Structure 1
Amino acid sequence: MKALSGSRFNALWLLLMAVMIATRFKHFGDMLHLPDASMALFFLGGLYLRRHWTFVTMVLLAVALDWISISYAGVSAFCVTLAYSFLPLAYAVLWYAGRWYAPRVNHGALSLLGAFGVAVLAAVVSFAISNGSFYWLGGRYAQPHMTEYLSRLWQWGPLFVRTTISYVAVALVLHAVIVRVAWSSTAQQKEA
């Protein structure tokens, strides 16, 4: 897939940041709150935006949103421990998996299915990093051991991965629809 033009890059970057802001904390209350899309957005950012500085900016946005949530919106700081410093690594797994796969994306359904598969694998690794660092380094468990860790990994992992890949799946379907509409429009213009 070719790199996006400047205007498309900016529009998509603003859209990804807006979705992160909208889903990162419960500012509209429980009834209207969507699950956090941040992990999916990092994969999609890598897939479409690719630029390193954009990754850094999105990490800073995530940290700023967490700070605002804790400081002003009453969100618990339970997860903010030494392990929080591993979140950029968890985000990087997603971003750079998307970035790695980006040249393989074309107009075919098979390439989008491949992107989905890469997103699943990256989400699993990302969760293992974020959850593992929290469990082993977070200081929230008096005597951490592998059996308890694996139990918690299986308790929360499927939800995390399902949420992440659900957002990615929606984005890839939108990608396919947009490509199809653009291709159809181009074909009609050539016939005229």
Structure 2
Amino acid sequence: MVRNSRFDLAVFGILALVMLVTRTHSLSNVMHLPDTSLASFFALGFLVRRGIAFAALFALAYAIDVTVIGWFGQSDFCFTPAYWMLVPAYGTMWLAGRFGAEKLGERASALPAITVLLVAATFVSQLFSSGGFYFLGGRFEDPTLAGFMPRLGRYFPSTLYATLLWTAAAAGVLALLSMARPQLRADSRK
């Protein structure tokens, strides 16, 4: 299926903007917004599906991290050789989004299955990112599975919450746009 490039570019732009706001914590002085990264990659896979879009969004995430660490003095504690485990972590979300769009579609009846897919993808993504950091980051002496499990239990619920929250917000915005301008989604499939 040939997709509408303007629609893809608009989706990418919105996801990039939201990621810029939440990943930089630019609003932290006013309020803390949970990071949208996992939800953004899932939505990108669901709506855009082009490999170049994945690479561009990952490059943006990397550029944001380098900028906030190098120029704005954020801690570099998480910036280790294990940082590259974010490629399979975000790739998991993007591929899950693609799978959901291709196999489940945008029907309301697919919502439970898409939610299960989103939860499973978030868990696998968390294993790549947190597990990679714990086992490969060099920050923990003698990492063990027993040492990792409490960390997974501590960080996964908030990661899942943020991912479900932002994905629901994206789905809600898309539904409202589709109701207000039905030709928008129809045009995106051309």
TM-score, normalization by structure 2: 0.88
- Give distance in 1, aligned partners of 2:120 and 2:49: 19
- Give distance in 1, aligned partners of 2:152 and 2:65: 23
Moved more, 67-76 or 20-29: 20-29
- Give distance in 1, aligned partners of 2:43 and 2:142: 37
2:15 counterpart SS class: helix
- Give distance in 2, aligned partners of 1:110 and 1:127: 27
CA separation of 1:119 and 1:159: change in aligned 2, threshold 3 A:
same
Partner of 2:18: 19
In our comparison, the structure showing a higher alpha carbon Rg is 1
- Give distance in 2, aligned partners of 1:29 and 1:162: 18
- Residue 68 (1) aligns with residue 62 (2): no
- Residue 160 (1) aligns with residue 155 (2): no
RMSD of aligned Cα (Å): 1.9
Partner of 1:188: none
Moved more, 165-174 or 77-86: 165-174
CA separation of 1:57 and 1:107: change in aligned 2, threshold 3 A:
closer
Q: CA deviation at 1:143?
A: 1.9
Note if contact 2:46-2:94 (Cα within 8 Å) is conserved in structure 1: yes
Q: CA deviation at 1:4?
A: 4.4
2:141 counterpart SS class: coil
- Give distance in 2, aligned partners of 1:178 and 1:115: 20
Partner of 2:90: 91
- Give distance in 1, aligned partners of 2:118 and 2:168: 9
Q: CA deviation at 1:84?
A: 0.4
- Give distance in 2, aligned partners of 1:73 and 1:107: 40
1:10 counterpart SS class: helix
TM-score, normalization by structure 1: 0.87
- Give distance in 2, aligned partners of 1:11 and 1:158: 31
Amino acid at match of 1:102: A
Amino acid at match of 1:14: G
Partner of 2:113: 114
Partner of 1:59: 58
- Give distance in 2, aligned partners of 1:13 and 1:85: 22
- Give distance in 2, aligned partners of 1:57 and 1:167: 20
Amino acid at match of 2:10: A
Task: For 1:1-192, list aligned pairs within 5 A.
Answer: 4-182=3-181
Moved more, 6-15 or 83-92: 6-15
- Give distance in 2, aligned partners of 1:153 and 1:35: 18
Unaligned ranges ≥5, structure 2: 183-190
Note if contact 1:3-1:48 (Cα within 8 Å) is conserved in structure 2: no
Note if contact 2:46-2:98 (Cα within 8 Å) is conserved in structure 1: yes
Amino acid at match of 1:137: L
- Give distance in 2, aligned partners of 1:76 and 1:16: 24
Note if contact 2:23-2:37 (Cα within 8 Å) is conserved in structure 1: yes
- Give distance in 1, aligned partners of 2:5 and 2:158: 35
1:31 counterpart SS class: coil
